[in-house]
Amino acid sequence: MRALLIGGTRFVGYLLARRLLAGGHEVTVLNRGTLADPFGPEVEKLRADRTGPALGEALRGRSFDAVFDFAGYTAEDGRRAAELLDGRVGHYLAVSTGQVYLVREGAPRPAREADYDGPVMARPAEAEELAEWEYGVGKRGYEDALRAAHAARGFPVTVVRIPMVNGERDYYRRIERYLWRLGQGGPVLLPDGGGHATRHVYGGEVARFLALAAGRPETFGQAYNLAQEETPTLRELVAALRDLLGSASPLAAAPAELLRARGLDPLLLSPFSGAWMSFLDPSRARDALGFRHEPLASYLGRIVASWLAHPPEDAPPGAERRGDELALAAELLG
């Protein structure tokens, strides 16, 4: 298979490229070249900003059996990709997000693929909320443009929607923030107690699914949610990390408003406490394609083992306020 990866070579894209190489496939990556190259000569590199004319030049005269797009964010991204690759790609797999459900009015939790259609919520005024809304609406535009190309001329697209992605290469360092605090043995604050349910996905499993789905015509024009089966509360998830680490850290519930009043950002110390966290039903991928996500305990164990074996040189974001966290935890725990 001749495969093209657009963007995303730091995390899931990197894992997918390695999986494809191991399977004997030819891999080309296309990005702006602003980050360090993680590959050697076994991967061909194309340099282009997908939003400008250089994209067409980079793709001129080329064809691929599969294109995996990690960097489509707008309707224009979808339209241009479908136009430039029309007739020159066997299968186009678009990596999207569960946030396309979060911006839809009344979308249920968990969200199924059939819950995509419906009115989008009104544009929020608050800056942080607006950024999240624009991301979800932009991704919907990207998906809709690709779906329109499929309906009009049979463009062979499959959409894969993913929630929060965990993994050893997570450059947002989300699970690491919990591990860093647990590793110190002191109390760990959980905004509002961490009683909400979570359902994430493992980066390695996203790469495995994409590789397995490539070239399957029955997926053309379809969307698939990809997520783990388990739905632990955040408190249960952090407790599982604590047990894997062998930590004695107590978990302390802290009202989010109290954290803000003390100058502590709830999302810096607990990135899984945000309101913009999709919760997906993965049953279509399981029932229609036979894909079963590996157990949560299995992949969490690998993340913890990797963190212990290769500790980061610097502390994660928010670590500079650890002393204030401990002081508040002492008050809350009495």
- Chain segment 185-196, per-residue pLDDT in tens: 999 999 999 999
| pLDDT per residue as tens digits for the range 67-102 | 999 999 999 999 999 999 999 999 999 999 999 999
* pLDDT range class, residue 313, cuts 50, 70, 90: very high
Q: What's the CATH code, domain 2-333?
A: 3.40.50.720
Buried b (16+ CB within 10 A) or exposed e, 135-159: bbbbbbbbbebbbbbbeeeebbbbb
For the chain, give the percent of residues with pLDDT over 70: 100
pLDDT for the residue 193: 97
pTM above 0.85, yes or no: yes
Domain ranges of the chain: 2-333
- Residue 8, pLDDT > 80, answer no
Which phi and psi (to 5°) does residue 10 adopt?
-90, -30
Read off the pLDDT of residues 217-269 as tens digits, 9 standing for 90 and up. Answer: 999 999 999 999 999 999 999 999 999 999 999 999 999 999 999 999 999 99
Give the number of residues written for the chain: 334
pLDDT at residue 159 is higher than 80: yes
CA 91, 2, 213, 218 torsion: positive or negative?
positive
Confidence (pLDDT) at 34: 87
What is the pLDDT at residue 37? 87
Mean pLDDT of 166-182: 97
